[in-house]
Amino acid sequence: MKVLVIWPPHVPSYFNAGHHTPAFMTAGHLRRDPGVSRVDVYDAGVLNMNWKAVGNLLFQGGYDVVAVMNDFDAVDGLERFITYVRELSPHSRVVTFGRLSSMNPGHFMRYDLDAIVQSGDYECGVAHVVRAVADGGPTGPLPGVAVRVAGTWHAPRQPGDTLPADQWVLPDVAEIPYAAQDRLYFNDDHKFCGIPFRRELVVPVARGCPVNCDFCEVPSIFGLRERRLSVDRAVAYIEEAYARQPFEYVAFYAPTFTLDRRWVTELCERFLTGPVQPRWKCATTLHHLTEELVALMGRAGCVRISVGLETLEADAQGTLPRAKHIEEDRFRTVAQWCAQAGVELNAFVIVGLPGTTPQGVARTVATAREVGARVRPTMYTPYHAMSPELSTPQISRYNRQLIAEPGGTGDADERAAWYAFMFGAEDRLTTVFESIPQHPDHVTA
């Protein structure tokens, strides 16, 4: 059995290297199957492959299964990619997995696919398809996977499987196109999550989140119960990766990094005692931070904490989970803790959240900047409003940059005001890279 795991070429609306790790983790998981002789993995979604290169790969690879990763802003090129597969590798069975197919699996039944992973961990769903193909199938539905047999789609026979954290296969850093990722993070005006001029090692440490924001896909896909790597395994992975590549900081990929304060404390203590003492960043909620914890994180090398500020408009906070009901005084206090600890506070602000106004968002942004925070805006995206009937252009609007409903949010002036937060000029760029030593072997453009 030969398997290709690939994120097809596209121009990304937004880039977060953490969102790309499932491709490499899925490939690693499949390599554990003794019936699989070869697994190739390519991330063509970071502008480092062209369609000719993809065609060469498909024509020469002889793949039995092609596993195509999907996402909210990457569905545009899916049909073209499937056309290439059917033309250049017609014997391959094609399965798709990712955030969008887990949230809206019915949308994918319009494409010439053989299977759709729609629940459970991605690697488990793809593995079910690979085993079924090895056995001459699939002939019917699989756990968490819709299957097309003789032109008819069959829903999964049961929910998808999930893996304990100790069974995750962490990404092989030799397979990740870091130079392409460096280029995407280079201009901080884009407000992507990475730090410019420094190379990032993503460490996926947790899945699932009990906070349960309705504009976030994590609870729907991975559940409300968190699964988390051990500190030992996270540290060992960092040590190994730093020995192989010129990484300059770590990005901990977890929905709510400080949800388990005991875990974070243990991690910080390990960094303080060495031997690995990286600079690092994380994302969490204001609710899950304390002054003592922020101070410890700063001493242990944390350079940025991202928090879901969302909005400071009291009338709009009723639509948010209780943990996201943030008073301005609380935000200012956390900002002071971060400043004292030498940590950049990165505030996620939602544009167009129900109950907010452009004037209210402007006040939220102004307050964040007043306390020295970096502001990263995203457009409100009502994932619950997606349906299988949406066209590809309509689905592509659910990318956290465009207003999902073309005519559904105010008049032209209000829409222009919303878009000014997303696409207007930005003169408050990060300088946090200055606190991260540059590796002598990492040459930036």
Residue 62: its pLDDT value, please? Answer: 97
Q: Tell me, yes or no, whether 150 and 288 share the same domain.
A: no
Choosing from 154, 174, 205, the residue where a domain stops is 154
Choosing from 132, 154, 176, the residue where a domain stops is 154
111: in domain:
yes
CB 337 within 8 A of CB 367: no
| Mean per-residue pLDDT, 430-441 | 94
Q: Tell me, yes or no, whether 255 and 319 share the same domain.
A: yes
368: in domain:
yes
Q: Tell me, yes or no, whether 222 and 338 share the same domain.
A: yes
Q: Tell me, yes or no, whether 126 and 275 share the same domain.
A: no
Q: Tell me, yes or no, whether 65 and 209 share the same domain.
A: no
Q: Tell me, yes or no, whether 125 and 193 share the same domain.
A: no
Q: What is the CATH number of the domain that holds 91?
A: 3.40.50.280
396: in domain:
no
Give me the domain span that covers residue 299: 186-380+411-435
**411, exposed or middle or buried, with CB in 10 Å at 0-12, 13-18, 19+?**
exposed
Q: Tell me, yes or no, whether 22 and 101 share the same domain.
A: yes
Is the predicted pLDDT of residue 172 greater than 80, yes or no?
yes
For residue 196, the number of C-alpha atoms closer than 13 Å in the C-beta half-sphere is: 12
Reduced to 3 states (helix: H, G, I; strand: E, B; else coil), residue 67 is strand
403: in domain:
no
**Which pLDDT tens digit goes with each residue over 270-323?**
999 989 999 999 999 999 999 999 999 999 999 999 999 989 987 776 666 666
Residue 315: its pLDDT value, please? Answer: 72
Q: Tell me, yes or no, whether 202 and 144 share the same domain.
A: no
416: in domain:
yes
What does the DSSP 8-state code read for residue 140? S
Q: Tell me, yes or no, whether 93 and 143 share the same domain.
A: yes
| Mean per-residue pLDDT, 371-384 | 92
CB 55 within 8 A of CB 80: no
Choosing from 101, 134, 154, the residue where a domain stops is 154
Residue 246: its pLDDT value, please? Answer: 97
Mean pLDDT of the chain: 93
Residue 322: its pLDDT value, please? Answer: 66
Which tokens go with 165?
């954290």
To which residue do tokens 């990094």 refer? 257
Query: What is the distance between the alpha carbons of residues 262 and 279, in angstroms, rounded to a whole number?
Result: 20
> Could you tell me the pLDDT band of residue 324, with boundaries at 50, 70 and 90?
low
Residue 407: its pLDDT value, please? Answer: 60
Is the predicted pLDDT of residue 408 greater than 70, yes or no?
no
Query: What is the distance between the alpha carbons of residues 373 and 232, in angstroms, rounded to a whole number?
Result: 32
Q: Tell me, yes or no, whether 217 and 354 share the same domain.
A: yes
Is the predicted pLDDT of residue 46 greater than 70, yes or no?
yes
Domain total of the chain: 2
Q: Tell me, yes or no, whether 64 and 206 share the same domain.
A: no
| Mean per-residue pLDDT, 34-56 | 96
Q: What is the CATH number of the domain that holds 256?
A: 3.80.30.20
385: in domain:
no
Residue 319: its pLDDT value, please? Answer: 65
Percent of the chain with pLDDT over 90: 78
How far, in Å, are 78, 349, 369 from residue 45 at the CA level?
11, 26, 32
**Which pLDDT tens digit goes with each residue over 93-151?**
999 999 999 999 999 999 999 999 999 999 999 999 999 999 999 998 899 999 999 99
What does the DSSP 8-state code read for residue 142? B
Q: Tell me, yes or no, whether 202 and 349 share the same domain.
A: yes
271: in domain:
yes
167: in domain:
no
Task: Determine which helix (DSSP H) or strand (DSSP E) holds 114, and give its type and residue range.
Answer: none
| Mean per-residue pLDDT, 398-407 | 85
